Amino acid sequence: MTVNETEDKTLNTEIEEVQPALDDAQIRAAALAYAKFLRDNDLVPGEAAYAEPAETGDEVAEPVAEAPSEEAPAEEEPKAEEETDQKNKGGGKKKRKAKKAADLKKIQEREKAKAKDREKFLEGGKDPLASVMNLHDKVQDSIDNTLSKLGKDIIRGAHRIGSSYNNTRRGIGIAILVTGLLAAGILIVFDMFTVYEYAYNGKVLGYVKNQEEVTDILDVAARQLTYNSSTEADVKFVANQNVTFNPVDGRGKSTDDSDTVVNKLIYMTDIETEAYAVYDGDKVVAVVKDQNDADTLLLRTKADLSVPDKGMELISSEFTNELSVKPVNVLLGSVQSNAAAQEQMTNGGTMNTYHIVENGETVHSLASDFGVEDFEVYDESNNEPVTEVEAGDRVCIRCNVSPVAVKMVEQGRLKEVIEYETIKKETDEYYKGDSHLEQEGQNGVQIFEGVITKISGEVTDRKETAEPEIIREKKDKIILVGTAERPKTAATGTFIMPIEHYVVTSEWGGRWGRMHEGMDFGAGTGTPIYASDGGKVIKANYWSGHGLCVEIDHGNGVITRYSHCSAVHVSIGDLVYQGQHIANVGNTGHSFGSHLHFEVRVNGVSQNPRNYVNP
């Protein structure tokens, strides 16, 4: 067997022994590591490294074997030839030189060819770290079985490679390299299975691969949450204080990226913050973000409630009650903007403040702290009062806020209104229940000079320093109220049904392509018809398509009309009272059956009778 055949067989045997134990990714990773080791140590796999030939006289330098191992058979041929040459010294010296030169040339060519083969073999290889990551993807699918198999396969491959090169530096190097890769892979894989649970004030928000994904964006999230808050409350997230971490097994848990972490933090609604409450006596009337805002709120509220009238100068202004400011812990949504707080202090209203119960707090202590009754402490849904609380409970404190009061004193000249009065005068010129406006009212105007004291805008004291100057006298409003008894024939202003025992056969409105200006009540001929209200008869005769017809003037432009009568019992000019029998139902005029056609007209315009009577 030639040297080439021996070495090729050895290389093929080594590859065949390794391949069954490893998959493609592992073979490529090991091969790449092996090739790097050979390049770093300037070694050749499978046989000795030969030194460059150098002539010394007629002799060619013998190749120096670096590691005999399994390559020993390849060296036996030149060695045997050398022994034969030594026995035939007589004419074989040149022949030996030529043979050695030819062998050396063959070895060099073979080395070049093997180097090319190795390069082709490694062209498809991947970076070892990428192989480990691919290995991790497989391990994740079935961690227990795959990880065990991976360890056994790599160790078996390393053992085989180490056995194949047991007596060479190259074999030892590969064994060390593969063992190192195995250890690093196992560490990386187990690191991959650890995630970090992050929480705000004990409330778990999610999981991340490493803590830096949270700690690096805490300031960003705090600024964004502060910006988003209408209260501009100063929110702070502090790692390992109100934001905590806990390493946990990551299997089956999805992790958040930085953007998701930011969104979870800035859209929390139960963030607790230290704010400042404004107390009117012992009752909370506003909650703002800090002491400076509270002080500013008090100044602005007092200023807004202490505006003097035109022409007057403010002498003094003060709250009628003692207002104080104290820090309180509330949920972020309970902190009010300065504008909202001022509106509440000025006009009052209902305030709901949400709070997380702390150690030692009770329902009674919370009620006392916020100036409410015990029954005004509700659960976090603000539905039911609570009787007991524990640390960590979220509660809502309801508070009915009354406007704060300011006492102000102003002095100067003031143009003020003298309001007119309304005077009612009785007269028998009008019926009882009727009234008549005799004179419109008009306010007067005068100039006041002196000092005025007000509390919450109401004048409580005024001291004149000069007689008021009247610019315009007031004119009182005078209303005449009737006292005379109303006659039966007088209109009452209300209307009754003009017929009994009827069927509505046609409504007011469009009918047969034209306007039907009344309502039709079907009834038998001779059925009594009554005056819908008191008034004066202005028609009582046969009238065109209406047949026998009666009209009554009720005053104020209102008349009622009764058509198609079979008989009429009143005359023109008669005064009739409400409910008086004035005619009988008939079928006269343009009629297609016995019925009453009833109309209500105001200033000559027909109205829907249903707006006046209730059939």
Same domain, 254 and 277: no
Of the listed ranges 203-217, 356-370, 481-495, the one predicted with least confidence = 203-217
Same domain, 470 and 563: no
Please indicate, yes or no, if residue 417 is contained in any of the structural domains: yes
Same domain, 387 and 435: no
Which of residues 493 and 537 earns the better pLDDT score?
537
User: Percent of the chain scored above 90 by pLDDT?
Assistant: 45
Q: Is the pLDDT of residue 301 over 50?
A: yes
Q: How many domains does the chain have?
A: 5
Q: How far apart are CA 136 and CA 155, in angstroms?
A: 17
Please indicate, yes or no, if residue 335 is contained in any of the structural domains: yes
Residue 251 belongs to domain spanning: 196-266
CB 21 within 8 A of CB 160: yes
Across 258-263, average pLDDT? 82
For β-strands 519-522 and 548-553, DSSP reports them as unpaired
pLDDT of residue 41: 67
Q: Is the pLDDT of residue 367 over 60?
A: yes
Of 241-250, 350-359, 442-451, highest mean pLDDT: 442-451
Please indicate, yes or no, if residue 237 is contained in any of the structural domains: yes
Select from 144, 167, 187 the last residue of a domain: 187
pTM over 0.75: no
pLDDT of residue 139: 47
Which of residues 307 and 13 earns the better pLDDT score?
307
Cα torsion 51, 55, 56, 58: sign: positive
User: Percent of the chain scored above 70 by pLDDT?
Assistant: 69
Please indicate, yes or no, if residue 326 is contained in any of the structural domains: yes
Nearest to 448 by CA among 310, 599, 560, 596: 310
Same domain, 393 and 286: yes
The full length of the chain comes to 615
Same domain, 258 and 355: no
Same domain, 67 and 114: yes
Same domain, 158 and 278: no
Same domain, 349 and 366: yes
Place of tokens 């390299």: 177
Question: Which two structure tokens, joined as six digits, stand for 461?
Answer: 């004291």
Residue range 384-412, pLDDT digits in tens: 999 999 988 889 999 999 999 999 999 99
Select from 484, 512, 535 the last residue of a domain: 484
Please state whether 581 falls in left (phi above 0), alpha (psi between -120 and 50) or beta.
Answer: beta
Please indicate, yes or no, if residue 373 is contained in any of the structural domains: yes
Q: What is the CATH number of the domain that holds 514?
A: 2.70.70.10
Nearest to 185 by CA among 144, 137, 132: 132
